[in-house]
Amino acid sequence: MASTTAHTGKATAVAAGNGGVTTPEAHDSARCGVLPARQWPNIQVEPEDLPAPGEAVEDLETPVLVVDLDRMEANIRFVQAYCEQLGVRNRIHIKTHKIPQIAARQVAAGAAGITVQKLGEAEVFAASGLGFDDIFLPYNLLGAAKLRRLRAFLERYPGIELSLTCDSTVVAEGLSTVTRQVGRRLKVWVECDAGLGRAGVTQPGHALDLAGAIERLPGLTFGGLMSFTADAEPSVAFMTAALAVFRSAGRPAPEVTMGGTRQLRWVEQVPGVTEHRPGTYVFHDRQTVLQGGWSFDDCAGTVRTTVVSRPTAERGILDAGSKAITPETMGLDGLLGHIVEYPEARLYRLSEEHGYADFSAYPEAERPQVGDVLAVVPNHICTTVNMFNWLVGARNGRVEVVWPVAARGRVR
């Protein structure tokens, strides 16, 4: 399609299939788009210098994402014990850290398998060789390319139990086709929207209908009901109604898997709940502190950042912008993170490479100096981690380990 500007009469390409009319820019990007990857110029750069074990955290070049291992391990232990006390399986969600070595610690602590959000994450965790043999993927997988990858995954990892969700027969039919190709059954859960307004069937009766459809499709087994909802009340209402609908249809009570760190506070109220999928709890963040009742002392992940400028008496500019700290405000107070050393400071803006902080809450003499290094707890740790190639695991102020964020960017 081409549009013609009224003033100049010149044609401008606005999309592919433009009838042969192209701007030089569009032509260039089209050429780049068809260039096979192997013909890309081979750019030579020195490998990045990684921190060494034993190095002092305070000496690390910034911005750098540092995880306090004592806090992380305490978080893992706490939630594991909590789920055991509630009698629900703890199926941890790996999308927070995307690091197989951390998930292995969560499984060693007692987690009942892992949750991934994307097939690409499942591929990375399966390939890690760390023994993740029970993977739940609560996402609608559909389309020829995705189902080809699902088939390849199932063929490559016959020992891994992969279960999935759907909220329509379109998705279930695609999954059923794959089971025929690989000669292997798949457990499929029904995703329920109990009030988040995201994917999922919105009526308990539809959950029953879809469960029946799953069972009628060759190769599929109905797993139960899956939900991820912010609030207790609609979750309890939905699952109460869903269990009643299953009961009156003469069916056994389905398993129920719920999710979320904040939701741990009330998950035991949900009738029939058998499993929970917390992710963020492993590191926590400003959101779980402000909305979930955790404390900044629970926050294991911080972005260490240098004050690179003090242009005014109040303002400090940090070397971590929106490419190192998520710019998501998460429905909180509009601020973009918590500065550990200056809890009353306001991190009020992020441009790509600059963080803008207002230190006016402190007497001038106490405000940070150019060159000081500060630690920021981001609003949302999961999307922050996804911006880093690796993170540092530290204990008592010293680097213990550097982990690649192995499934970083695996959005497909």
Ligand X SMILES: Cc1ncc(COP(=O)(O)O)c(C=O)c1O
Q: Please give the residue ranges that form the binding site for ligand X (CB under 6 A).
A: 93, 96, 115, 138, 228, 259-261, 277-281
As measured in angstroms, the least distance from the Cβ of 115 to ligand X is: 6
- Our CB check for ligand X shows the closer of 51 and 259 to be 259
Q: How far apart are CA 267 and CA 315, in angstroms?
A: 43
Q: How far apart are CA 124 and CA 156, in angstroms?
A: 13
Q: How far apart are CA 32 and CA 40, in angstroms?
A: 9
Q: How far apart are CA 213 and CA 229, in angstroms?
A: 24
List of residues 6+ apart from 29 with CB closer than 8 A: none
Nearest to 301 by CA among 15, 61, 66: 66
As measured in angstroms, the least distance from the Cβ of 292 to ligand X is: 8
Adjacency order of strands within the sheet including 255-259 = 89-90, 273-277, 255-259, 220-227, 186-192, 161-166, 134-137, 114-115, 92-93
- Our CB check for ligand X shows the closer of 298 and 319 to be 298
Helices (H), 183-328: 204-216, 232-248, 286-292
Element (H, E) at 169: helix 169-182
- Our CB check for ligand X shows the closer of 224 and 355 to be 224
- Our CB check for ligand X shows the closer of 138 and 321 to be 138
- Our CB check for ligand X shows the closer of 228 and 359 to be 228
As measured in angstroms, the least distance from the Cβ of 381 to ligand X is: 9
* CA angle at 238 for the pair 234 and 240, rounded to the nearest 5°: 115
As measured in angstroms, the least distance from the Cβ of 259 to ligand X is: 3
As measured in angstroms, the least distance from the Cβ of 79 to ligand X is: 9
Nearest to 262 by CA among 292, 298, 294, 300: 292
- Our CB check for ligand X shows the closer of 219 and 234 to be 234
Nearest to 103 by CA among 403, 361, 303: 403
As measured in angstroms, the least distance from the Cβ of 86 to ligand X is: 15
As measured in angstroms, the least distance from the Cβ of 282 to ligand X is: 9
- Our CB check for ligand X shows the closer of 191 and 358 to be 191
Q: DSSP 3-state assignment of 402?
A: strand
Burial class (CB in 10 A: 0-12, 13-18, 19+), 51: buried
- Our CB check for ligand X shows the closer of 13 and 119 to be 119
- Our CB check for ligand X shows the closer of 90 and 305 to be 90
- Our CB check for ligand X shows the closer of 276 and 346 to be 276
As measured in angstroms, the least distance from the Cβ of 164 to ligand X is: 12
Hey, how many other C-beta atoms are within 10 angstroms of the C-beta on 371?
9
Element (H, E) at 223: strand 220-227
As measured in angstroms, the least distance from the Cβ of 91 to ligand X is: 9
Contacts made by residues 209-217, CB under 8 angstroms, sequence distance 24+ = 210/166, 210/167, 210/168, 210/169, 210/172, 211/246, 211/251, 211/254, 213/169, 213/172, 214/166, 214/172, 214/188, 214/190, 217/172, 217/173, 217/175, 217/176
As measured in angstroms, the least distance from the Cβ of 279 to ligand X is: 3
